[in-house]
Amino acid sequence: MKVPCAGAPRAAKRYVKSTHVARLMSHAMLLDLLNTGALWSLSRGLARNVSDYKSHLAACDQPRRNDLDGRGHLSEENLVAFTRFFLATCVDQVRFMEELMQPDTLRTRIQLWAEEEIRMGRLPERTQTILEAVLYRGELPRADIAAIVGRGERQARRVVSALVERGVLTSASSRAPLQLAFPAALVSRWLPGLFPGKAERPGR
């Protein structure tokens, strides 16, 4: 009869903790760096390859094999293999999200939606100009809006107010730069690959 090693449960607990810490820290750092609003997630890619993920992590705790396997106590070759696996998973998830979001045609979808809303009287004129500027710049200082609209401060405020009310634009404060939001009501029009089959609610 085999007698279980007394240190095995502790080692297993340390391994489980290390996997959780590695995944959560990596996810948090990439989330903060990329500012994707949680649309892009590394966790999905790791979950799809969970066996390889755990094997690479376990291998990183193995001692070095010889004098060519790094200069520390642990294996450098295994660390390099884990890093390659990790980066390959990141790239795979970027490609996956690119296929879903179809960024090459995102501008066209947003502009078509804006044109329809203007024709129906639900958005003011020059809305497309503001949306295009925010889309390409990432954020738009409020001081630049009037010049972009080309109709004066009053019309600029009307456009911004309408887009904020619809949840299309957002900002940290009343003076902070404007950023493009992706409201759930418009996801089927702007990002049809993410949630296929969902329709926009009328009048939203």
* pLDDT tens, the chain, 204 aa long: 333 444 444 444 444 455 567 667 777 777 777 666 666 778 888 888 889 988 988 888 888 888 887 787 888 888 889 889 988 998 898 888 888 878 788 889 999 999 999 999 999 988 999 999 998 888 888 888 888 888 778 888 888 899 999 999 998 888 899 998 888 888 888 888 776 554 444 444
Residue 19: what pLDDT?
56
Classified as helix, coil or strand, 70 is coil
DSSP result, 85-141:
HHHHHHHHHHHHHHHHH-GGGHHHHHHHHHHHHHHTTSS-TTHHHHHHHHHHHSEE-
DSSP H or E segment with residue 170: strand 169-170
Residue 119: what pLDDT?
93
Residue 193: what pLDDT?
78
* pTM for the whole structure: 0.61
Residue 195: what pLDDT?
65
DSSP H or E segment with residue 179: strand 178-180
Residue 117: what pLDDT?
93
